[in-house]
A and B are shown apart, each in its own frame.
Chain A
């Protein structure tokens, strides 16, 4: 029908010609005619569309010089200058090239879409193909190295371990530093601290989203892009759009994957005999004689003579080759008025740690229904059921003990068959890891459903309305069972104990929005969006503790045999008015103004609402006449923006003062009433003002394309969970304190090195440099906030996550004692907390990644490298492994130690006494001796794929089929001597503070990442 109309239009235009005319044909680089392309005569109102043959005709032109503009969706806009003489019919044929920059591609921007051409802010996009090119437990892991300025630090190899995502540095201390995640319009529940730091890991709230369901992810980075999310956009916004069906025949795609999991590195520890020699040397160094008394090491249940009886390989006892399986099936079908996308996914992910796996079953149904010509309905729903089979790790035991107090001369079992018990200060629940693995049962189950229902109504041609309701339900049940045998043996209790901790979150979101397109004239247009949004979230739950249990607690009922305590509900409400005006002039000048007026229950009456405006502009400069001489330049677009955004992601109850009445906590059987939290009614938004300027460019017919951005972000009223002087009567208190300054640059590039029919090679690379500085901590000292393990502090003039340590100078050659530096740089044998100074930072100087994609006929090869330049890792476990001898194992580096007067050594004399090192205790050996350069280059992904020839697939009645071998984390180049330079350890204390200030660089007995080898088969029918 459309083609007939076009033909008629062309005919009418043609037959109407009675003067000067320009006509011609538009084709693509494959010589195919372009149907419906637009040809404009700049400076006039004349123009035409091409017909079925790609032909166009423009009549009624006066003689003169003209500039023709040729446009077609997905193709590069091209220009040609012509001169038309009296009575002339000029033929102008053009070959239009494909637009590698996809300037007309739709980009999701929050409450709407824009063409990429119209974008005036800093937005990065990743599509479904790039997102699923490597196997990941959670979708955010797949973003690593692919988007400039988006720092993804992978979690450990432990199942369900969360990553840390930071966009353009860190601008928060105790408010969440993570971006806002919005799935199909609903800001999702994203609490990493659901169960605090249990078992050496935090909870990952993102893992319930199936990466295979995602169509695209847009990352909004600057204030112009995020200000429409107002008070929640300061750390960037990640918009997740799930897949929907398009019209056409039914497509069924199956993707199956199986793989093996191994660690990226094995702990490097000394042998049993080497350890015993070290212990003996320390014993003698301390002036002792005879056989070492193991009680002095903290080993009271073994004598020196027993130590040669056993030689246990705890690594082999606790690790395995994990098996991974994933199966995804999707179904997509579009009818006249209805389209349907559905998926089903099953995932069983064993890790390299025995007993540890993550099993997930998920599904999705996305339905689009055109109810009438003007009314459309969109339905989206997903469900996930995931079991995380947990083990202790990191600080809490299990794999962490491999590198600490599981000594090689300890047996797994005593001669009588009972488990050998460790008897040191790390004992108790963290005792013999094999006993824990065998006897302790622990499963964390997550059930989640995210649903949305939207109606779009075209009130008029240009005025559209949308109402949308969303619901995100998350239920997390953490079940643990410790049998009597374990408890009696460790002395923790005399009976079995079961616990059930349940948290469930109901997150409702409601949106009403109007959008209006106003065409001032053909060249000037306005696009206006305004709306209202309300969100409400409540997290409730309880903890049940049951003695003499026979297994997991199967239901949540309170009985005579258990103790059930409800948690303080975490509830917040949020409402906002937002608006945006886009002005498009000549399709090359763009102005965008947006605002959000937000109200939040997190704040008291005096600070309840905040206003977050932004303005931005863009200019497609290469389409100006004066740029015609730069023939090699196919795109030059300038952008600039300035705006305000906020952060209110912290404890919703923080502003309240609380008293708790209790009949469970009593004195002399009488009920109590006690304060639990200090009030701060003046809490307000954390606010960031951000300036951004960017250039998008392309050269050599888009062979080389790229984007460059600079930004400056100043955050004030930074929310800190302050360490209070304990004499106040409370440990912590939320307040708006100080400021943070981030500024930096991002650069991304794509280069099509070879683009032939049979062979192609392209390179994509990006780098981001961010400077970060705390500008103020108000009236407080560096101690105001600590990163969780006492290693990082808030230091004015230094970055967030600054290591604040006593400097180490050298090992004294005469005595073998370590020599430190005091604050003034003078040498001293005494370590004192008063001498701590800034010595490093968790934040890197630069991050990025580069990908090489090769294609040869049906084969393809892809290599993704990710890297980090600068930043520090503080190996908090090294202070015990290479410090005062105790009940910990040691590392081979200890060979470079002082042994006799005159020795120049890296490490001091061995000793059992912290005082020999001038230390108050062995935990305080916090010096830059354990601070390492965190730079690394990692081959994150290597994929070799083969697409079966269509002649084969047709015979099998398949649309396409592909087989691929995918390997992750094959190797890493780094100077870091530990297991893995990429660290996202569990957060302690305040989870936000910990994740902002410490988790990315401070290592403590964490399991390394996985190295996986996978075979993937994809078949589409």
Chain B
């Protein structure tokens, strides 16, 4: 055998290498991310189980949003808290009703509901592509519709003037999203917003089961729809729904610790649950804690003197336990809330207490005093005790005095839960146009949050008017 010329061999090797390397093709450039880290939508959603997981994430996102973020912002605009004690620029701007396009606190909050809404809309794309057990699809659709309505409802309350601001609610509302698509959309009217919310909730009522564990039920959808109608001043529509829910078997708890679900389970119609974790990923209420908690350090938000005095006004009122004094008598005395001195807690969203107070007010407005007093009496009895002077005095109330008492008890019951501002605006819009909220007219521009500057990325977006409350 002849000896092979090493040089020629090398030429051949080089040529072969070059030929191989020159055979690059598009397939060589395919990079498929590891499925454990990221899935494309069609790989991600293949079964009813996947849809259930997607729905779970809707609850999770919604729970995050209602972990205090929306409630604290709402109360900062209202009259139950002090200016932020840490002089935080963003929170102070909310307190001053001067939120502008670059407020980190409110901009972060604005994005939250749309996480849920997008996910719900993604689910819409797959109902016809996935096989379900009997009733499963309807339940998923019902829960999704309920959560989308909840998110739109909470958003329109904060980023638009309330229902009743114009007689036909033609004033600008929020962007409503019903498709999972990156498409340019502009703000709809408040009337359109509420129409979509109501449509979603009526669908939910039709689709949801009566019992659904800790998730949305038919009664939850009814309760939320009642609340929507109540906020819109449509008491006639709210009342039958309230009757249904109140009559559905929920029992008023003896406990006033509404954020300890185990103590108030019997009256929770719908709420967000928390699961304890060593790493706190799934615990809720963090924004409540970081603002109000005062058993570790000085709180960020104190309780307004007005609310403090109201809670301390009646020695028999058990709810006075929810306030305390820090540095009493000192120049830097702080009135603080103890309601959120908790490690982990669930966030109630729809409760029997709320339903009873709504029905009591509607009946009081409609001059059905006996029913109103009966509903209110349940709340008062729990707070002041059986036989208390307050409870006894209820029977003598009627007309505006009764209405005022219902609203007062609502404030005392649900203080620092993000409810107060909505009620004041409703009263201003439908009952008392002279209503003021911490020295500002209920309909002043600054009581509506400004949208983030990024909402103006697309041409034609109309921002809210700023200021005008001070």
Chain A interfacial positions (CB closer than 8 Å to B): 291, 293-298, 300-304, 372, 374-375, 421, 423-425, 427, 457, 459, 465, 467, 490-491, 510, 512, 514, 532, 534, 545, 547, 563, 566-569, 571-575, 577, 599-601, 605, 608-609, 652-653, 656-661, 664-679, 722-731, 733, 779-781, 783-784, 786, 790, 830, 832-834, 886-887, 913-915, 919-924
Contact = CB atoms under 8 A, between A and B. Distances in A.
B1 interface: no
A877 B103 CA distance: 17
Top 5 nearest A-B pairs (CB, nearest first) are A298-B87, A729-B118, A425-B88, A659-B44, A921-B93
Contacts of A423: 85-86, 297-298
Contacts of B454: 723-726, 731, 783
Interface in B14-28: 14, 17-18, 21-22, 24, 26, 28
Contact of A374 (B7, B45, B86, B103): B7
B349 interface: no
A13 B96 CA distance: 99
A659 to B, nearest CB: 4
Contacts of A921: 89-90, 92-93, 96, 98, 100, 103
A675 B456 CA distance: 24
A799 B53 CA distance: 46
A141 to B, nearest CB: 34
B272 to A, nearest CB: 8
Nearest to A888: B87
Contacts of B92: 914, 921-922
A490 B296 CA distance: 9
B330 A303 contact: yes
Given A599-B26, A659-B41, A659-B44, A675 B453 contact: no
B331 A304 contact: yes
Contacts of A575: 24, 28-29
A908 to B, nearest CB: 17
B59 A920 contact: no
Contacts of A830: 467
Contacts of A427: 86
B14 A781 contact: no
Nearest to B7: A374
Question: Chain A: interface secondary structure?
Answer: mixed
Contacts of B98: 914-915, 919-921
A578 B42 CA distance: 37
Given A459-B11, A730-B182, 5 more contacts: A300-B332, A425-B91, A660-B37, A668-B215, A674-B57
Contacts of A727: 114, 117, 174-175, 177, 185, 455
B117 A666 contact: no
Contacts of B110: 726
Given A532-B18, A571-B33, A673 B275 contact: no
B21 A924 contact: no
B114 A665 contact: no
B390 interface: no
A668 B297 contact: no
A91 to B, nearest CB: 47
A729 B282 contact: no
Interface in B420-470: 450, 452-459, 461, 463, 466-467, 470
A300 B85 contact: yes
A293 B84 contact: no
Contacts of A567: 37
A726 B456 CA distance: 10
Contacts, number: 301
Given A425-B87, A920-B466, A725 B175 contact: yes
Given A457-B14, A921-B93, A673 B53 contact: yes
A572 B30 CA distance: 9
Contact of A465 (B18, B36, B41, B100): B18
B457 A780 contact: yes
A832 B214 CA distance: 45
A672 B57 contact: yes
Contacts of B279: 545, 547, 563
B362 interface: no
15 contacts: A293-B332, A297-B87, A298-B85, A423-B85, A423-B297, A577-B24, A653-B33, A665-B281, A666-B56, A669-B275, A675-B41, A729-B119, A781-B459, A921-B90, A923-B89
B182 A667 contact: no
A534 B99 contact: no
A534 B86 contact: no
B257 to A, nearest CB: 21
Contacts of B85: 295, 298, 300, 423
Contacts of A467: 14, 17
Contact of B60 (A491, A667, A832, A915): A667
B50 interface: yes
A401 to B, nearest CB: 15
B122 A532 contact: no
Given A722-B457, A729-B115, A783-B453, A679 B37 contact: no
Contact of A601 (B29, B59, B99, B214): B29
Nearest to B121: A729
B298 A300 contact: yes
Given A571-B33, A675-B122, A679-B40, A425 B26 contact: no
Contact of A568 (B21, B38, B44, B122): B38
Contacts of A490: 297
A421 B86 CA distance: 13
A244 B60 CA distance: 60
**Candidate in A424, A427, A783, A830 with the most chain B CB atoms within 10 angstroms:** A783
A725 B14 contact: no
Given A660-B38, A921-B92, A779 B458 contact: yes
**Candidate in B33, B84, B273 with the most chain A CB atoms within 10 angstroms:** B33
